[in-house]
Amino acid sequence: MTYDEVYKIIGKNIKKYRMLKGLKQQQLADMLNMSLNFIGKIEVGYDHPSIYTLVDISNCLEIPIEKLFQATDDSNQQ
């Protein structure tokens, strides 16, 4: 598995848990004091957030950080 594939999985999971909480990208960005553009790029795997950012995101979404790294059957499909 490549780094890019890992970041795509992370991005999909961030989007999934954000949507489960009923948050829009802008709301998550505001909660994290980040730009909407940055959140959007993370969710599609174009931007590679630091571990500090991932901790902040997981805390904001109220999930254990390891959930961001869990691949699902559809995670690797494009």
CATH code, domain carrying 53: 1.10.260.40
Single pTM value for the model: 0.90
Q: Is residue 31 part of a domain?
A: yes
The answer for 33, left when phi > 0, alpha when psi is -120 to 50, beta otherwise, is left
Check whether 58 has a pLDDT greater than 60: yes
* pLDDT at residue 22, as a whole number: 97
What integer best gives the mean pLDDT of the chain? 93
Residue 13 lies in a domain: yes
SS (H, E, C) the chain: CCHHHHHHHHHHHHHHHHHHCCCCHHHHHHHHCCCHHHHHHHHHCCCCCCHHHHHHHHHHHCCCHHHHHCCCCCCCCC
Q: What percent of the chain has pLDDT over 70?
A: 92
Position 47 in a domain: yes
Number of structural domains found in the chain: 1
Whether 42 maps to a domain, the answer reads: yes
Kindly state the average pLDDT of the residues 52-76: 90
Interhelix angle 51-61/25-32, rounded to 10 degrees, is 120
Q: Determine the pLDDT at residue 8.
A: 97
4 has pLDDT over 80 = yes
Residue 54 placed within a domain: yes
Range of the domain at 24: 3-69
